Amino acid sequence: MPGFELENFIPYLLNRAAEKSSREFQAVYKQEYGMLRTEWRIVFHLGRYGEMTAREICSRGALHKTKVSRAVSALEEKRFLARKRSETDRREEYLSLTRQGKSVFRKLENSAREYQERFAGNFTQDEFRILTNALKKLTE
């Protein structure tokens, strides 16, 4: 890395970009549904992949279990999510979206799609593909 310049430092660039994009998209779920980022991400996972345990959400989303625990409680209070104790292992519980939660998910999914389209407009297809793959690779 001969030409290293601090303004190219990846954690820094990632943070700035993440902050900005999150802030922008936050408007959607915060204003409309009073949700926090972690809550939206849980809705995202359950809506996208269906019923799963908190632990699974943690590992899929790289989220800490206390954060998830609290967000799950908040979503339950909003009646967006329901819990069901596992029969085979009573330590864990299966989480899933309620009918209302699913409706919220569908709307947010549409907003996400619109956001993504606007976003992708700034890049060529190749750039966008490489960016996406790189970001995925980073968190494997």
Partner DNA sequence: CGATAATAGTTGAAAATGTAACTATCAAGG
Partner DNA sequence: CCTTGATAGTTACATTTTCAACTATTATCG
Member of 39, 44, 80, 104 binding a copy of itself (CB under 8 A): 44
Residues 6 or more apart in contact with residue 42 via CB below 8 angstroms: 57, 61, 68, 71, 72, 75, 81, 95
The C-alpha atoms of residue 139 and residue 60 are separated, in whole angstroms, by: 10
Member of 55, 79, 84, 113 binding DNA (CB under 7 A): 55
Q: Which is nearer to DNA, 70 or 118 (CB)?
A: 70
CA angle 15/19/22 to nearest 5° reads: 135
Member of 64, 84, 106, 129 binding DNA (CB under 7 A): 64
Q: How far is the CB of 62 from DNA (least distance, A)?
A: 11
Q: Which residues make beta-bridge pairs with 71?
A: none
* Residue ranges that bind DNA, judged by CB under 7 A: 36-38, 53-55, 58, 64-73, 88-93
